Amino acid sequence: MSQDVAGIDIDDRGVARCWWGTGDPLYRQYHDLEWGRPVADDQRLFENLCLEGFQAGLSWVTILRKRENFRAAFDNFDLARVARFDSKRIEQLMADTGIVRNRAKIVATINNARRYSALRDEFGSLAAYAWRFEPAADSRPGVLDHAALMQISASPEAVALSKDLRRRGWGFVGPTTVYAFMQAMGLVNDHLEACDFRAQAELERAAFRRPG
C-alpha cells in the first residue's frame, strides 16, 4: 500500500490505520479494538455518550487517559446508581482532579441517567432506541476516504437522534457529539477504506444482531 494515502498512517510493521489512531498507544488500542465495533450494552452506550459529551472542546485522547477515573467517579456508569447521585455527590465530583470538572456536564450526566428509565420503558433498552437511528447503507458514501469523511460532521440520523434526545430532556447530546457516539459504538463504520481495521469492524457489524 502506498505510504501517501490521505488520512492513513502505516506503522513500522506495515499496519495501516486511520490517521487519528496513531501515536499514543492508548489511542492505537482504542482505534484497533473498540472504535466502530457494534455495541448493544446499555451501560457501555451510556458511558460513551457521556464521555463524548465531556470531550467537547478537548481531544478524545484526553478522555481516554481519564476514562478509568471517570468509571470510578461515576460508579462504572451504572445507570441506576448515577440516577441517584445528589448534590453532595456533585460536589465530590467537582473536587475530583481525575476527571473533567465541568459542573454542567456532570449535572447533565446525572440528568440523563434519570431520563433513561422512561426511554427504557418505551423501547426496552437504550440500545434498541439508539439503533433505530442507524443510517441506511445506501445513505453512506460509496467510498469512505479521507476527503469523504471530512465532509461528515453529523449525519441526518445523528441530527434526528440528537433532536429526539433533547426533546426527551437529555443534555449535552448535540449532533456532533451524537455522531461521534454513533462512530464509536458501531452504528456507522467510519474507518477509512484503506484502514486495515475497516473490514474487521464491518464483519462485526454484519454479524451483529440489532437490538429491538
Residues acting as catalytic residues: 30, 52, 60
- Looking at residue 96, the DSSP 8-state letter turns out to be -
For residues 157 and 175, give the distance between their C-alpha atoms in angstroms, rounded to a whole number.
9
Q: What is the CB neighbour count within 10 angstroms for residue 200?
A: 16
Q: Which three cell numbers stand for residue 129?
A: 432506541
What proportions of the chain, in percent to the nearest 5, are helix, strand and coil? 60, 5, 40
The β-bridge partners of 9 are: 17
Is residue 34 a contact partner of residue 51, using CB atoms and an 8 Å limit?
A: no
**Size (the chain), residues:** 212
